Amino acid sequence: MAEKVRMQSTRRHKPGARACQKAFLLAHMKAAEQAARRAAKVLESWRQRFTVNEKARFDLVTEADVASQKTIQEFLGRRFPGYAFLGEEGEAAKVRPDLAGPPTWIVDPIDGTTNYVHDCPLYCVSIGLWMSGDLVVGVIYDPCRKEMFSGAKGLGAWVNGRRLHTSSADRLDQALLATGFPPDMRGQEITLDWWRFFSLRTRSLRRTGSTALNMAYVAAGRFDGYWAFDNHVWDVAGAAVLVCEAGGTLTNIDGSAYDPFTPDALVSNGPLHPAILKAWRSGPGS
């Protein structure tokens, strides 16, 4: 999250530039919301009739994932021709966009596919906008609860139009934390060690099966923190802006400046971050 959004055409006249930037970001946020609602209709239309395939061991994909991504890509492609697109499904390159390249939509068409497959109502559509080395717009839509989380850099974050604020807990023994596990746990047992560690020191832990919802819930003050070791950029791109705009803190696990293209993430309400980092330094065996 190192670089600032570049709005070259508006730089010279500051008040006007700010208004222009605001309108620019809100227009993209609204378009992403529309795309997410369309994708949610696609998910509904595929329920109970999809087939399940494995991309890798326990890493599920259905026709609904593919159709949802296609809907989002086509809708946003029509609205913003010339923008790049990075989605979880398909063969297109999934690499960090070139700094000088066009804005890039980063999309997870279903975050929580295993839940979707089992008809467990914990999944969502996630859309983020990456511009000049930064995530500037994020939208998460949960079709089961009809909750639209949206945010734009510098402007705020909302759920169904209500402003989001992170919680105030600053001690582990006051905290409800969430985490995510990779589809194939073999070789990832460290994550179970941390599960045990935080289970013994917090009010409770949740594993929802959706990274995007975990992070959106931190933004909403429902969870106080979230950690994971195995994310992809499409898992986090929609929710990162929400967390920042709601007052939360995002870093990598070691406390360094957050890079959404790396797999580990530590997300918190802000006040709890030092306590989690301290735990991290002591190790799960302590």
Binding site for Ca ion (CB under 5 A): 88, 108, 110-111, 235
Could you tell me which of 274, 283, 286 has the C-alpha nearest to residue 175? 274
Q: How far is the CB of 13 from ligand IPD (least distance, A)?
A: 42
Q: How far is the CB of 263 from ligand IPD (least distance, A)?
A: 9
Question: Which one of Ca ion, ligand IPD, none is in contact with 143 (Cβ closer than 5 to 8 A by kind)?
Answer: none
Q: How far is the CB of 164 from ligand IPD (least distance, A)?
A: 20
Q: In the complex with ligand IPD, which residue's Cβ is closer, 118 or 201?
A: 118
Question: Which one of Ca ion, ligand IPD, none is in contact with 183 (Cβ closer than 5 to 8 A by kind)?
Answer: ligand IPD
Q: How far is the CB of 65 from Ca ion (least distance, A)?
A: 6
Residues in the chain, how many?
286
Question: Which one of Ca ion, ligand IPD, none is in contact with 230 (Cβ closer than 5 to 8 A by kind)?
Answer: ligand IPD
Question: Which one of Ca ion, ligand IPD, none is in contact with 181 (Cβ closer than 5 to 8 A by kind)?
Answer: ligand IPD
Q: How far is the CB of 56 from ligand IPD (least distance, A)?
A: 10
Count of CB atoms situated within 10 Å of the CB of 83: 17
Q: Which residues does residue 170 pair with via DSSP β-bridges, in sequence order?
A: none
Q: In the complex with ligand IPD, which residue's Cβ is closer, 128 or 209?
A: 209
Residue nearest to ligand IPD according to CB distances in the complex: 180
Sign of CA dihedral 139, 162, 122, 166: positive
Question: Which one of ligand IPD, Ca ion, none is in contact with 182 (Cβ closer than 5 to 8 A by kind)?
Answer: ligand IPD
Question: Which one of Ca ion, ligand IPD, none is in contact with 209 (Cβ closer than 5 to 8 A by kind)?
Answer: ligand IPD
Question: Which one of ligand IPD, Ca ion, none is in contact with 224 (Cβ closer than 5 to 8 A by kind)?
Answer: none
The radius of gyration computed from the CA coordinates of the chain, to the nearest angstrom, equals 18
Q: In the complex with Ca ion, which residue's Cβ is closer, 167 or 208?
A: 208
Q: In the complex with Ca ion, which residue's Cβ is closer, 111 or 142?
A: 111
Count of CB atoms situated within 10 Å of the CB of 142: 23
The contact set with ligand IPD (CB under 6 A) reads 108, 110-113, 180-183, 209-211, 230, 235
Q: In the complex with ligand IPD, which residue's Cβ is closer, 137 or 212?
A: 212
Q: In the complex with Ca ion, which residue's Cβ is closer, 21 or 214?
A: 214
Say if CB 236 and CB 260 are below 8 A apart.
yes
Q: How far is the CB of 125 from Ca ion (least distance, A)?
A: 9
Task: Provide CB contacts within 8 A for 59, sequence distance 6+.
Answer: 183, 184
Q: In the complex with ligand IPD, which residue's Cβ is closer, 113 or 166?
A: 113
Q: How far is the CB of 126 from ligand IPD (least distance, A)?
A: 8
